Amino acid sequence: MENTPIKYTFKDFQSDQEVRWCPGCDDYVILRSIQKALPETGVKKEDVVFISGIGCSSRFPYYMDTYGMHSIHGRAAAIATGTKLANPNLSVWVASGDGDSMAIGGNHFIHVLRRNVDINYVLFNNEIYGLTKGQFSPTSLLGQKTKTSPYGNTQPPFNPGELAIGARARFFARLGGNVPKDMTQVFIEAEKFKGTSLVEILQNCVIFNDGCYTKYTDKAVKDEMQIHLEHGKPMIFGKEKNKGLILKGLKLEVVNIGENGITESDILVHDAKEPDMTLHSMLVRMEYPLATGVIRSVEEPSFGERERELVNRVTDSSRFKTVDDLFFSGETYEVK
Amino acid sequence: MENTPIKYTFKDFQSDQEVRWCPGCDDYVILRSIQKALPETGVKKEDVVFISGIGCSSRFPYYMDTYGMHSIHGRAAAIATGTKLANPNLSVWVASGDGDSMAIGGNHFIHVLRRNVDINYVLFNNEIYGLTKGQFSPTSLLGQKTKTSPYGNTQPPFNPGELAIGARARFFARLGGNVPKDMTQVFIEAEKFKGTSLVEILQNCVIFNDGCYTKYTDKAVKDEMQIHLEHGKPMIFGKEKNKGLILKGLKLEVVNIGENGITESDILVHDAKEPDMTLHSMLVRMEYPLATGVIRSVEEPSFGERERELVNRVTDSSRFKTVDDLFFSGETYEVK
Amino acid sequence: MITDSKSNTTPKANEVVQNVVIRFVGDSGDGMQLTGTQFSDTSAMFGNDIATFPNYPSEIRAPQGSLYGVSGFQVQIGSLDITTPGDSVDLLVAMNPAGLKTNLSALKPGQMLIVDTDSFTKKNLEKAHYDTNPLEDGSLDNYKVIEVAMTTHTKEALKEMGLDNKSVIRSKNMFALGMVYFIYDRSMDHTIEFFQKKFKKKPTIVEANTKVLKAGYFFAETMEIISTTYHVGPATMDKGVYRMINGNTATAWGLLAASQNSGFELFLGSYPITPATDILHELSKHRYFGIKTFQAEDEIAGITSSIGASFAGDLAITTTSGPGLALKGEAIGLAMMIELPLVIVNVQRGGPSTGLPTKTEQSDLLQAMYGRNGESPIIVIAASTPSNSFDFAYEACKLALEHMTPVILLTDGYIANGSAPWKIKKASDMPPITNRLVKEGENHVPYKRDEKSLARNWAIPGTPNLEHRVGGLEKDKTTGNVSQEPLNHQYQTEIRAEKVRRVQDYIPEIKSEFQEEGDLLVVGWGGTYGGLSAAVNQMNIEGYKVGHLHFNYINPLPKNTLEVLKKFKKVIVCELNAGQMVKVLQNNYPEITYSQYNKAQGLPFTTTELIDKFKQVL
Amino acid sequence: MITDSKSNTTPKANEVVQNVVIRFVGDSGDGMQLTGTQFSDTSAMFGNDIATFPNYPSEIRAPQGSLYGVSGFQVQIGSLDITTPGDSVDLLVAMNPAGLKTNLSALKPGQMLIVDTDSFTKKNLEKAHYDTNPLEDGSLDNYKVIEVAMTTHTKEALKEMGLDNKSVIRSKNMFALGMVYFIYDRSMDHTIEFFQKKFKKKPTIVEANTKVLKAGYFFAETMEIISTTYHVGPATMDKGVYRMINGNTATAWGLLAASQNSGFELFLGSYPITPATDILHELSKHRYFGIKTFQAEDEIAGITSSIGASFAGDLAITTTSGPGLALKGEAIGLAMMIELPLVIVNVQRGGPSTGLPTKTEQSDLLQAMYGRNGESPIIVIAASTPSNSFDFAYEACKLALEHMTPVILLTDGYIANGSAPWKIKKASDMPPITNRLVKEGENHVPYKRDEKSLARNWAIPGTPNLEHRVGGLEKDKTTGNVSQEPLNHQYQTEIRAEKVRRVQDYIPEIKSEFQEEGDLLVVGWGGTYGGLSAAVNQMNIEGYKVGHLHFNYINPLPKNTLEVLKKFKKVIVCELNAGQMVKVLQNNYPEITYSQYNKAQGLPFTTTELIDKFKQVL
Ligand SMILES: Cc1ncc(C[n+]2csc(CCOP(=O)(O)OP(=O)(O)O)c2C)c(N)n1
Ligand SMILES: Cc1ncc(C[n+]2csc(CCOP(=O)(O)OP(=O)(O)O)c2C)c(N)n1
Ligand code: SF4
Ligand code: SF4
Ligand SMILES: [Mg+2]
Ligand SMILES: [Mg+2]
């Protein structure tokens, strides 16, 4: 339609519905970060669609003044696939919890990644079922006590990034739930990426799993325990920016820059665009430091692009312009 | 019961039902290999259970003279989980196609692996839907022409091993569909492994996808195109046993032994038991040569073991011996 | 076979008959489906009315010669109105012992049986569980048996072409077809043309097949034992251009027409399942119409992707069969709650569970009505013939778009795979389809309803200033915001039901056929139309006052249903299940007393069994 | 509140009443559920009959003071038979303006309202959408308003303990409870003991709570405005040991008892969903009984893992609510087809789709009956009170094991969360459970059936020489091998239906309550028992000849149902849905004319609305 882009502010993306999460929930941070990211993407408001399943996190669409659907548990990725295929102009977002995505929704989760549908997938990972009041999820820790595991969870968890890469994810980012500025940046990158952009947020649930990420996300330890990766930049972290990662055989190792003759130039440089996923997988699995930021971002035709290529190809060569042409083609006969 | 083990032959595992696969289908090879493997495992016939979904491959249980269930499409892994939890003494097997396992059954597939349920999972991967007569599956190639992709498939495939490892698979083996002896060996190993043993067979469907693996499995090229891995042995292949794999940075490279000063001792030694999955993933993804044999075999408590540990722990400390103890516990009062 | 007095003057006697039923049976590899289709097409082009019934094994390639590997194709052609492929057959062509064994009971006593004697080997007889050779033990004495060494003749015909043995044997079905063409006085031209088109790049194959076809024809002509040929004249059919069509293709094309006429792009989210997959296959071929066919990871993704597409403004469809419909229940409830257009095509098959996947049944009706949580009424309609699957697929789209609701269209394996002549419709022959789209600049209240139909408005993403949210939680009757308010829930529950009830005002009234009033009303729905119609016709010929009332609209039922039911002394509801429609009728019209005739054998009704039952009830 | 003539001699007037309804309302954080439970438990131990109705918001922690964040707990106690928590309330305790706003309409005019004046701040009034302060604007003139600065008093009571402000404020609910204990003449002992047990390791918390409770009690005692206290005497109940129980716990325990009595280990495969999750929670606590509770990845894995466990010889259960039941449909069909014992517990909630997840409804009945493909009849039963959920959970297991079939047990959010006194049963008080196991050395034909019940035999893996295969394809009636044979399918379809029908011979006949014959029969099923019973009781007190017929067995219906229906001039079917049971009855007994009373508001029936309707119908 028009070419002059409208300049939005985050307020343009706030709906008139009262936000109903628990006070202190990280979901508020994610909401605000997305509301701040959208004005920076150049996407028109009417082209934005938020689709969710069921869960605390899945209330998300109600709070965005965009098109939205709060659907049924676990199906957001499949619904979003249909929405995006139907209208490739839309900016389609999925908001989904760890249970919604990886318990009941696990199949759609791996398939949307495999197909590389061009959507933005925000995974609210609080390692618990929030809305149903505290059962373990597929990301809950072994031994974790919850309402359905009063004696400790016996099911080893998925690592979402690892599962995603196993399902061929082309874009994966991870962030703590308390870093609104980083989030805004990553959401802008996710929207720009053509293909499924999966962003995992380590979201604290203050009621049922409070503090599950403190050892990584607490302000006091964050810089020592997280490494925020940026494409093209060396893998350096620490309050003093004095630690870095090097590769030893097939293992990542933390080294102190300046010690044992290690200099900055020995440190690995992050290449998010490397198609081979070996190093990205290693980063995703690394427990110390925890890798955050955009870990993988490898462009490849999206599902929609492949589909449109196909349609263009067959449309040009088709004998049929209208359905009538088809109906009257082939073996017909006339009764007079 | 008795301690003297019965000595079975493969005939003991043949049911009275006529086998109804197409002549020439690799499914016959798999059937016979399992019938030959079982007598070597020491498992009692009455303790063997085969569970399948729906598909050509899922007809499998009918042909085994063991307990069996031909269930509904995609659910074999979940059913098998219940069977094994209910009775840990059983040797539970799943027979399932690529569609059954990774299309409709994708969620149960990743979860059974995550939980490490102690079952043997035989994946009949023919990269097509056989029973429904030729639609593409989640392992069909990009561009593949099938009844539902007459202009070429636009959905990039899963690599089953890669997906499995992303879902935390502890045991993964891969074999061509025409190597009955290797199969028998691998099935014996799979049964011995405590945890989910996933065995992918590259199964040729002579009707709807004939020859899809010829470039790897054809007798004429097999030795050059496959590397059959064995734990503790160097990664050597080739008709002349003159090729090997070495690691260069994060890439696997094929080298000729005897050329450029390369000797056997430079060649990587296969360690299927290494918990870190980095190298196993690389092997799984390698396109030349194709890795076959047991690629990963890492023991870790199975789901059942964790569950039994829990039950033992709480049973010892429990105040309640019968349900009556529970009913009369806590806040009761008497009406006189 | 109803014989007629007229006869003409070829060397053999040529009897004119009004209709004839032929069945081709043989091994899965014997090409029986192709043979049957060729005979049908040729007869259709000649002007006969036709109904076909293909019947294949559930195995992909069952072992050669086995009983369960038999593939069959039955066709009835007529110069009068043909509504079924026929109960019993006038000519059975059996290419092997297994085919004979499993099909002989369908052959009318005294009628013609053609067998390929070459296939009656000891091995094949054993595989067919014959202790003695039926060609020798007198068990076929009641039939006109025509023994032909077809394999030998075929080899003979092709001996100079240097073809491999496999290819030679594979064309013996054309020998049989040639014979049947001669017996039924049909031209070989259409089939020869077919060879030429199909094997354009393989002239030897064209030549070989043509040779064998002709060899069969001429063999029959010269053979002593065939003393009579039969002529089935053209039927009196409406003028127009026709083609043979099966129900699945007709369904696919109805959807195409609706997409073109409504102006909405077609989106099909589906997961393969017998016998519905052919709709997906057919639409996948026509991607140049801008159709999006999406093979999803499972049935749930099939329907939910369609819901997503519908939300974005496509005409969204999902296709499936029984077990798949069960999986879609929760999502149908969502579509109903958010009141989006969506068509769910369910091609019924034998149940329960995996059941009899390649057989027909009508046992998903109550599932279609009630198979989801909560009070969630939606429109349910059913096609009743291969060709009107076109009309009802179109109607399903029209109702979905105009009433903003999911619509379930029920067909079944019998009409989905069976073929009949279809007088081709142009898209412009179909009624126009309107929509409830709200456009940029218009005022949008998500749950504002049309006063008459109660359908809500539809604003699609991409339209500025109409941003809004929908969802599965109960919602306020106007704003659409989440509401837990008790009386609002009561109101919404009622209005959703009323909206579906009001569809009565937009669908045609129903009429009984054959009789407007009388002693017995035969009630059916969906794919049994042909069978019931043939039986009621016969009853009326025999002088009984029997009417036939057939439902295509099930939820809601046509407005005047009760009036029609009341015009008959007795009502019998006939269904291929254990009694489902009768429950719906009882709930709507409890004042009527219903008898029932139910069958669950994976097969359509036969005229004989129906007539027996009707006479018993009268 | 029915007042009584007797009265005793405390300083304040003490009126003896037969029953009283109290509702506590406040913010989600105000501890209303605990307060209500304490009052109920104390009254139960005193000997009252009781029914409770907790009503919490669907948000986890809705913003403080908001209207949708109000949490409520209603309880009726009585010296007579109590079947419902009551329509309208005799005492409303409102801890904040939002609670008052959303609950005032339930308070009977002239009755007592206790409010915490400290919470009526400008901010809270605004959040509750009050324009003026109801304590000041005269809008409460019709009630006995007792204004208490509870927060201030609580702070005062604890001022010397040095607790943080949050902890202090959190205990103000105990101040309210103390007051109510005084007003209703109840001892504080039970609650004080409760503190001691619950906070064993936090003696300050015990002390603080005890102090505040007593402060409330003594405050009420000394307060002028409370001039009358009330005494509700013990109810005449059967002798025995009792406890308060809610429906979900009772269900879980019924399953436990069935496991112990049958000797089969319990397997529960489930996926969390409101309001069914508490059954999974409860059983997860009792793993020492060898129970396997398996939280699956989704509902489909919940039920299919149970099918796998059943195949292996466990007593297998799956629990869910509406949307989950929709997802389980296909698998229920499999269990029916392979004829394995399986119990599916469906705790109904407000539908359709996600609907009103925390509210009650009875709208999954037809889904339970028909929500799967093909003809797949199974047993459907329903519990009707919190405590008989124990009996019907047990019965579901017994029927499943003895008849080798899936059984759906329907309960609902109302009885699942509501509590009532339960006269505790020992496992040995329950009827024995037999089984159809075939043992080593016995002859096993997988589809051999018991002549009387038609239940098939059961051989489980691990038993030598009984190896066999089951599956979802249609199977031969004896060997169980796959069969596509038409008449076999007909036979199997019929026998599967007949098997369920024959369960009639194993279940009790049904009896109408209050009247054996009369003018009106009030028919209900499941969780509405209490409500309907109260209303019919009232009608009979008023002299009407009204009977109450309540179904726990729905498929099949009790054998003598028609006889009972026929004994009344009129029949009205009352359901919390749009009319589902009435359809089942129509289909079974079309000769009866049914009126209906349907409600879909997420709430139970009120006595008043029922009586109005009954009088209108009569
Ligand atoms: C079909 C179905 N099954 C189960 C539920 C119940 N349910 C709602 S949300 C939820 C899980 C919530 O956890 P998660 O997805 O991690 O989201 P969170 O609340 O933690 O943000 C469950 C089990 C449902 N609504 N529908
Ligand atoms: C719920 C359901 N959906 C779909 C089907 C139809 N169906 C049966 S098997 C199959 C796929 C078969 O492919 P695969 O699993 O790869 O097995 P194969 O036949 O190739 O061995 C499908 C789609 C079904 N039976 N049930
Ligand atoms: S329960 Fe947890 S996840 Fe849900 S809103 Fe509250 S804090 Fe957030
Ligand atoms: S269709 Fe393919 S997979 Fe199926 S039996 Fe035949 S050859 Fe095997
Ligand atoms: Mg969560
Ligand atoms: Mg396959």
Q: Is the pLDDT of residue C415 over 90?
A: yes
Sheet of C406-412: strand order equals: C292-295, C266-270, C315-320, C342-348, C406-412, C379-382, C553-555
For the structural domain made of C2-231, what CATH number should be given? 3.40.920.10
User: Reduced to 3 states, what is the DSSP secondary structure of residue B301?
Assistant: coil
Range in C199-203, D197-201, D457-461, D477-481 the model is least confident about: D477-481
Instruction: Spell out which residues of chain C touch residue D360, defining contact as CB-CB under 8 Å.
Output: none
pLDDT at C422: 97
Instruction: Spell out which residues of chain A touch residue C327, defining contact as CB-CB under 8 Å.
Output: none
CB neighbourhood size of C222 (10 A): 10
The mean per-residue pLDDT over the stretch C305-327 comes to 98
pLDDT at D478: 83
State the sign of the Cα–Cα–Cα–Cα dihedral B94, B99, B100, B103: positive
Residues within 5 A (CB) of ion ligand 6: B 97-98, 126
Is A20 in Cβ contact with D68 (below 8 Å)? Answer: yes
What percent of chain D is modeled with pLDDT above 90? 89
* Min Cα–Cα distance to chain C from A140, Å: 26
**C2-231 with C243-429: one CATH topology?**
no
Query: Quick one: closest CA in C to A6, which residue?
Result: C464
- The residue behind tokens 């373990």 is A136
Cite the beta strand spans of D450-558 per DSSP E. Answer: 469-471, 518-525, 546-551, 553-555
Is B62 in Cβ contact with D241 (below 8 Å)? Answer: no
Is C306 in Cβ contact with A69 (below 8 Å)? Answer: no
Is B250 in Cβ contact with A276 (below 8 Å)? Answer: yes
Q: Is B307 on the interface with A (CB under 8 A)?
A: yes
For residue A34, give the nearest of A15, A20, A54 by alpha carbon.
A15
Instruction: Spell out which residues of chain D touch residue B322, defining contact as CB-CB under 8 Å.
Output: 260, 427
Q: Is the pLDDT of residue C339 over 60?
A: yes
pLDDT by residue for chain A (336 residues), tens only, comes to 445 667 999 999 999 998 989 999 999 999 999 999 999 999 999 999 999 999 999 999 999 999 999 999 999 999 999 999 999 999 999 999 999 999 999 999 999 999 999 999 999 999 999 999 999 999 999 999 999 999 999 999 999 999 999 999 999 999 999 999 999 999 999 999 999 999 999 999 999 999 999 999 999 999 999 999 999 999 999 999 999 999 999 999 999 999 999 999 999 999 999 999 999 999 999 999 999 999 999 999 999 999 999 999 999 888 899 999 999 999 899 998
CA distance A242 to A289: 13
Cite the beta strand spans of D101-227 per DSSP E. Answer: 107-116, 144-148
Number of domains in chain B: 1
Instruction: Spell out which residues of chain B touch residue D334, defining contact as CB-CB under 8 Å.
Output: 71-72
The mean per-residue pLDDT over the stretch D75-99 comes to 94
CATH number at residue A42: 3.40.50.970
Average pLDDT of chain B, as a whole number = 96
CATH topology of domain D518-617: Rossmann fold (3.40.50)
pLDDT at C61: 80
Residues within 5 A (CB) of ion ligand 5: A 97-98, 126
CB neighbourhood size of C237 (10 A): 14
What's the gap in Å between A132 CA and the centre of ligand 3?
Answer: 10
CA distance D184 to D78: 12
Is D578 in Cβ contact with C494 (below 8 Å)? Answer: yes
Q: Band of the pLDDT at D226, cuts 50, 70, 90?
A: confident
What's the gap in Å between C543 CA and the centre of ligand 1?
Answer: 64
Q: Considering the entire predicted model, what is its pTM?
A: 0.96
For the structural domain made of C243-429, what CATH number should be given? 3.40.50.970
The burial class, CB within 10 Å (0-12 / 13-18 / 19+), for D47 is buried
Q: Is the pLDDT of residue D581 over 70?
A: yes
pLDDT at B5: 64
Distance spanning both ends of chain C, measured CA to CA? 27
Rounded to 10 degrees, the C-alpha dihedral A129/A131/A132/A138 comes to -10
In this structure, is residue B175 part of a structural domain?
A: yes
Instruction: Spell out which residues of chain B touch residue D260, defining contact as CB-CB under 8 Å.
Output: 322-323
pLDDT at D422: 97
- Given B56, B70, B148, which is nearest C295 (Cβ)? B148
pLDDT at B54: 98
- Given B110, B306, B309, which is nearest A163 (Cβ)? B110
> What is the identity of the amino acid at A96?
S
pLDDT at D252: 98
Q: Band of the pLDDT at D11, cuts 50, 70, 90?
A: low
Select the more confidently predicted residue: A192 or C447: A192
Q: Band of the pLDDT at C4, cuts 50, 70, 90?
A: very low
- Given A21, A129, A150, which is nearest D285 (Cβ)? A150
- The residue behind tokens 């090097």 is A246
The mean per-residue pLDDT over the stretch B29-38 comes to 98
Q: Is the pLDDT of residue D237 over 80?
A: yes
In the structure encoding, which two tokens stand for residue C495, read together? Answer: 């209005």
Q: Is A167 on the interface with C (CB under 8 A)?
A: no
pLDDT at D108: 95
pLDDT tens figures, D134-147: 999 999 999 999 99
Atom of ligand 4 nearest to the CA of B26: 8
What's the gap in Å between C363 CA and the centre of ligand 2?
Answer: 21
What's the gap in Å between B133 CA and the centre of ligand 4?
Answer: 9
Average pLDDT of chain D, as a whole number = 94
Strands A251-256 and A243-248, sheet pairing: antiparallel
User: Are the C-beta atoms of C30 and C95 separated by less than 8 Å?
Assistant: yes
Is D301 in Cβ contact with B107 (below 8 Å)? Answer: yes
Domain ranges of chain D: 2-231, 243-429, 518-617
Q: Which ligand is nearest to the CA of D324?
A: 1
Q: Is the pLDDT of residue C14 over 60?
A: yes
pLDDT tens figures, C96-147: 999 999 999 999 999 999 999 999 999 999 999 999 999 999 999 999 999 9
Is B138 in Cβ contact with C297 (below 8 Å)? Answer: yes
A235 Cβ contact list (under 8 Å, min separation 6): A227, A229, A244, A245, A267, A268, A269, A270
| Ligand 4 contacts CB of residue B124 (under 6 A) | no
D113, β-bridge pairs: D92, D145
User: Are the C-beta atoms of A72 and A53 separated by less than 8 Å?
Assistant: yes
CA distance A252 to A106: 29
pLDDT at D258: 98
Is B73 in Cβ contact with C323 (below 8 Å)? Answer: yes
In this structure, is residue B323 part of a structural domain?
A: no
D341, β-bridge pairs: none
In this structure, is residue B107 part of a structural domain?
A: yes
Distance spanning both ends of chain D, measured CA to CA? 27
Q: Residue of the nearest CA to atom 7 in ligand 2?
A: C273
Is B71 in Cβ contact with D472 (below 8 Å)? Answer: yes
Q: Is the pLDDT of residue C7 over 50?
A: no
The mean per-residue pLDDT over the stretch D523-547 comes to 97
Q: Is the pLDDT of residue D6 over 50?
A: no
Q: Is the pLDDT of residue B231 over 50?
A: yes
Q: Band of the pLDDT at D152, cuts 50, 70, 90?
A: very high
The burial class, CB within 10 Å (0-12 / 13-18 / 19+), for C221 is middle
ipTM of the predicted structure? 0.96
pLDDT at D340: 98
pLDDT tens figures, C498-549: 999 999 999 999 999 999 999 999 999 999 999 999 999 999 999 999 999 9
Query: Quick one: closest CA in A to D276, which residue?
Result: A132
Chains that touch A (3 or more CB pairs under 8 A): B, C, D
Rounded to 10 degrees, the C-alpha dihedral A191/A193/A195/A197 comes to -60
Interface A-B: count of C-beta contacts within 8 A: 102
Range in B144-158, B168-182, C59-73, D178-192 the model is least confident about: C59-73
In the structure encoding, which two tokens stand for residue D414, read together? Answer: 């109302």
Query: Quick one: closest CA in C to B99, which residue?
Result: C297
pLDDT at C62: 80
Average pLDDT of chain C, as a whole number = 94
Atom of ligand 1 nearest to the CA of D324: 1
Q: Band of the pLDDT at D64, cuts 50, 70, 90?
A: confident
Q: Identify the domain containing residue B198 by its residue range.
A: 10-216
Task: State the DSSP H helix or E strand holding residue D379, giving kind and residue range, or none if neither.
Answer: strand D379-382
User: Reduced to 3 states, what is the DSSP secondary structure of residue C470?
Assistant: strand
Ligand 3 binding pocket (C-beta < 6 A) is A 21-22, 25, 27, 56, 126, 130, 205-208; D 60-61
- The residue behind tokens 């094949």 is C124
In this structure, is residue B313 part of a structural domain?
A: no
In this structure, is residue A259 part of a structural domain?
A: no
CA distance C594 to C615: 16
C86 Cβ contact list (under 8 Å, min separation 6): C19, C21, C51, C74, C76
